[in-house]
Structure 1
Amino acid sequence: MKAANLHLELPTLTPKAEALRQEVRAFIAEERSSGRLPPPRRIGLGFDKDMSRRIAQKGWIGLTWPKQYGGQERSALERYVLNEELLAAAVPVGAHWVADRQSGPVLLKFGTDAQRRFYLPRIAAGELTFSIGMSEPESGSDLASLKARADKVDGGWRLNGRKIWTTNAHHAQYIIVLARTSVAEGSRHEGLSQLIVDMTSPGISISPIVSMAHEHDFNEVLFEDVFVGDDALIGKEGNGWNQVSAELAFERSGPERWLSSFRLISELVDVLGPDVRPSSLEELGRLISHLLSLRQLSMSVASMLQQGKSPNMEASIVKDLGTKFEQEAVRVVRNIVSAEDLIANGRAERLRALLIHAQQYAPAFTIRGGTNEILRGIIARGIGLR
């Protein structure tokens, strides 16, 4: 058994990061006072193209990217502070979230210069929405079992297959699809490639998946003989698995993995009066202590990304703990609301609306971005248990 190799540093935020925090809070306060950002009644990222454009005008999309591609060349921890504030205030960031969080960084790390020059400035301007084409029907979290194929043809590839849980694919201009481009004997992970697909291409059909929270975020996307040009290949043909592994570190480690339900906790704190029961305070205190611990873990992964590392195992730990915390948060808030009788007779309507939505949304926490079972397999391999 090899020795465990888990290393999480506790970073210190710089004065620049704290100054940015104040800028973001001032922006949020202005958006609230203008009426453009009403207090939330639902959890989750939300989707608002106009809000994304206003955030882009502040230079806050692609914050860490080179200036030549529309970025600001700021640190990963500064980006962390930015997103922490936006998420804690329930600012709707879904229109640019995937492109900023992972599609852009994947292009920056593996893409051609032409791809970077075309896509990155448009993402940074808040003009482009990207979707993720990884998961497939009947594959569960076994991503390597995917059936989507891209066969080589003159000038490009012919793509066939299905992708599921493609968040905001019905809004997106582009989707990055992981498909099998060749077969390697004895390995399911080799022979996979990533392709940038224009969502207006002939042969693409989008079917909505409506959640039990009555929301249409997810979709199933069908690709039937979709032509994708040679210039759409990201990185090397057959290197898709390594690229996706690096990409998932961006997806799994961010503050959205423990801040999705933060607004529910915040609203509860606002509603609680001075005569709260000691048992309720104890539960709430325990929850907040867990939240602060997760924040430190998540910030440490941001620090590793800043150093150019690919903390896939560490990100999996944050995601596993974070999604369990989010489900626990819903349970704890529900218990306190019931014990304190906070929403009877029409009181605390916003808390009631947030709690109802959170209870409907909570089952998705441990599924999105990889199920906890898959994440624990990654962690076990990382520390030498498998």
Structure 2
Amino acid sequence: MARSDVLEPGTLPPGTGELRARVREFLAATPFTPRCDCWLTGADPAFSRRLGERGWLGMTLPERYGGHGRSPLERFAVIEELLAAGAPVGAHWIADRQIGPSLLNHGTEEQKHRFLPAIARGECFFAIGMSEPDSGSDLASVRTRAERDGDGWRLHGTKVWTSGAHLAHAILVLARSAPKDTDRHAGLSQFIVPLPAEGVAIRPILGLSGEHHFNEVVFDGAFVPDDLVLGRPGDGWRQVTAELAYERSGPERLLSTFLLVRLLHARADGPAARRALGALTARLWSLRQASLAVAGALAAGETPDVPAALVKDLGTRFESEVIEVVREHAGVEPDPASADPLARALAEAVVQAPGFTLRGGTNEILRGIVARGLGVR
């Protein structure tokens, strides 16, 4: 098979067509209810375990840690199919997308052997403790404290919008482990907190539709031993910055509303609807090429934080535009209780849309990252 790091940008390695076909066969034979924003709102632990059994979790992890030694571009093909189908991938999503690579890059051997095989089996789910009240996307302003206590640390603080914390077996927490000085990015560390844990309270934050996938997580003296510090104390900012490239550039930043495109295609009636669908398809293809290029850079060992920020900005705006096109041309009203899959999916998308350009970093923050990368800020 051709090495992924010598492929032209925006291309997939040979053999991914066969892999894609196997995923489609699995999805056709597996009962589930397709939904928009499935990587956030569609959590089914049993479905995640089935993916693990087929080798479709932990794909890029080395075999010695329970992974499968596949390339990021092969993984890209698999998750494209899962997202396009609206499959319930939310339970394992964060662990597979970014915690696995972060542990691989920064974890100790003990941490790798403890968590990575279980992630690859679909038996260990993670949440991310980054966002905080009143901080927005400014991660350097975190107020959660990590205070030294014997052979470990005590965590004090609050995290919000913590996706899937109520299902997670562990949470990766960014906290300030040294007093803030002139360098706001210094003195931050990452801590692995197995769940449930004494001193950790997880409180639901319900969405507009009453669904529960967000949480507030409060740390009140939770103890983290030294062997569960990820990387070196004080190196958290560098680690988080690398981690965000995985979070911001994947196909989930383009395909949260792709189910609507598929359903509109099945009933597009008239030249106006077909033109609108063609315009969406052309834009989606160009965004996909950009997302693939970032995946290729990650496969080559690069840290493409600026391209990833650009993909996330453009992709999440596109997802909201899909909703408007469908509302204009589908001839249905959003209805979460409808028997019509399009009306139901449209309702799901409308409810989730306010968060598209916020989660993973607001568009304003992302444009600042791009501006700095271009040297114009």
Q: TM-score, normalised by structure 1?
A: 0.92
Q: How does 1:110-121 map to 2 (within 5 A)?
A: 110-121=106-117
Helix, strand or coil at the partner of 1:37: coil
- 1:176-218: CA deviations, max 9, x gaps? 0000001252111000000001122111111111111321100
Matched, 1:295 2:288: yes
Alignment of 1:84-163 (within 5 A): 84-163=80-159
Quickly say closer, same or farther: Cα 1:9–1:382, change in 2 above 3 A. Answer: farther
1:221-267 per-residue CA deviation (whole Å, 9 max, x = no partner) reads 00001111000101111000000000000000000001110001101
Change (3 A) 1:369 1:183: same
Match of 1:37 among 8, 22, 32: 32
Give 1:348 deviation, angstroms.
Answer: 7.3
Deviates more, 1:112-121 or 1:197-206: 197-206
The letter of the residue matching 1:21 is R
Amino acid at match of 1:369: G
Equivalent residues of 2:36, 2:256 under 8 A apart: no
- Which SS does the other structure have where 1:217 is aligned? strand
In structure 1, C-alpha distance between the alignment counterparts of 2:334 and 2:340, rounded to whole Å: 7
Once the two structures are TM-superposed, the CA of residue 18 in structure 1 deviates from its matched residue by: 1.8
Q: Write the distance in 1 (CA, Å) between the matches of 2:291 and 2:124.
A: 27
Change (3 A) 1:355 1:161: same
The alpha carbon displacement at 1:270 in A equals: 1.3
- Of 344, 353, 359, the match for 2:350: 359
CA contact (8 A) 2:334 2:345 kept: no
Contact 1:43/1:354, CA 8 A, preserved across alignment = no
Aligned to 1:60, which of 49, 56, 60? 56
Measure how far apart 1:9 and its partner are: 5.8
**What is the aligned length?**
368
CA contact (8 A) 1:249 1:316 kept: yes
The answer to whether the Cα contact below 8 Å between 2:38 and 2:87 also exists between their aligned partners in 1 is no
Contact in 2 for aligned 1:158/1:228 (Cα 8 Å): yes
The letter for the 1-side match of 2:326 is V
Q: What is residue 250 of structure 1 aligned with on the other side?
A: 246
Unaligned 5+ residue runs, structure 2? Answer: 1-6
Deviation at 1:279, TM superposition (A): 2.0
Question: Aligned-pair distance for 1:121?
Answer: 0.4
Once residues 296 and 106 of structure 1 are traced to their aligned partners in structure 2, the CA distance between those partners, rounded to angstroms, is: 25
Q: Which runs of 4+ in 1 moved over 6 A?
A: 341-344
Q: Distance in 2 between matches of 1:331 and 1:269?
A: 15
Structure 2 counterpart of 1:213, one-letter code:
S
Code of the residue aligned with 1:15 in structure 2: it is P
Q: Between the two proteins, what is the percent identity of the paired residues?
A: 51
Post-superposition shift, 1:58? Answer: 0.3
Equivalences for residues 226-237 of structure 1 within 5 A: 226-237=222-233
Q: 2: distance between equivalents of 1:11 and 1:42?
A: 25
Q: How far apart are the structure 1 equivalents of 2:209 and 2:153? A: 38
* Deviation digits for residues 43-68 of structure 1 (CA, Å, limit 9, x no counterpart): 43210000000000001111011000
Instruction: Check the 8 A contact 2:35/2:87 in 1, yes or no.
Output: no
RMSD: 1.7
> What is the distance in 1 between the residues matched to 2:251 and 2:144?
31
Q: How does 1:1-386 map to 2 (within 5 A)?
A: 10-31=9-30, 36-38=31-33, 40-45=34-39, 46-272=42-268, 276-338=269-331, 349-386=340-377
Distance between the aligned counterparts of 1:256 and 1:43, measured in 2?
A: 8
Deviations 1:13-51, CA, capped at 9 Å, x for gaps: 2222222111111111221xxxx224x255432100000
Alpha-carbon distance in structure 2 between the residues aligned to 1:91 and 1:292: 21
Q: Deviations over 1:98-142 (max 9, x none)?
A: 000001110000111110011000111111110000000011111
Distance 2:28 2:166 in 1: 31
Paired residue type of 2:98: Q
Amino acid at match of 1:22: A
Work out whether residues 11 and 292 of structure 2, in 8 Å CA contact, stay in contact via their aligned partners in 1. no
Which residue does the alignment assign to 1:4? none
